Amino acid sequence: MVAVVETRALTKLYGRHLAVQDIDLQVHRGSVFGLIGPNGAGKTTVLRMLVDIIRPSAGELTVLGDSPRRAGAGMRRRIGYLPGDVNLTARLSGRTFLHHIAQLSGTVAERKIDQLAERLELDMTRPVRDLSKGNKQKLGLIQAFMHEPELLILDEPTSGLDPLMHANSWPWCVKPPVRAKRLCSARIS
């Protein structure tokens, strides 16, 4: 079985502080994989290394068969990434914001954004900066799913969602509402 994420002795140092030490992972296509641990254990750091937001200090890392550092933007278009801290301040409406993101992330099926917004009960006409934390999280979920990526990397995907929406959106992490035939989700609890 082909691994879509593979790490060997993955390590990250911030100065003298060891954030991640010798992580070995193999995540196979079609699986759901969770990183679970206490605050400060390095879960978010690992996910940020997977999408080349930060670089490892040591070790080896491949995502979708290539090095995130070498593959660049082409690889990132194949990944749906939701950061753990969705920090959006745009004056644009949610719809306009997502259409701008769609131009960067690759092809988005017609009406996909609206379908996802309807499923999450998100008002797409409001300015992003006026949205609550939970509604910004919904916007983040839509941007991660809208281009039907091969790989989903979700860092605390239900953070800020109310309990009812949490229950309704959690199945997305197991069986996402996209047509991708080859999908792996990484999430943090």
* 11-63 pLDDT tens trace: 999 999 999 999 999 999 888 888 988 888 999 999 999 999 999 999 999 99
Predicted pLDDT at 171:
61
| pLDDT tens digit sequence for 113-147 | 999 999 889 999 999 999 999 999 999 999 999 99
Model pTM greater than 0.75? yes
| Strand segments (E) across the chain | 3-14, 17-28, 32-35, 58-63, 79-82, 151-154, 184-188
Domains in the chain, start-ordered, CATH in brackets?
A: 3-188 (3.40.50.300)
Among residues 170, 158, 155, which one has the least CA distance to residue 50? 155
Name the band, by pLDDT with cuts 50, 70 and 90, for residue 177: low
Least reliable range by pLDDT among 23-27, 66-70, 72-76: 72-76
Q: Give the Cα separation of 28 and 3 in Å (integer).
A: 4
165-172 — which CB contacts under 8 Å span 24+ positions? 165/120, 165/121, 165/134, 165/138, 169/120, 169/138, 169/141, 172/141, 172/145
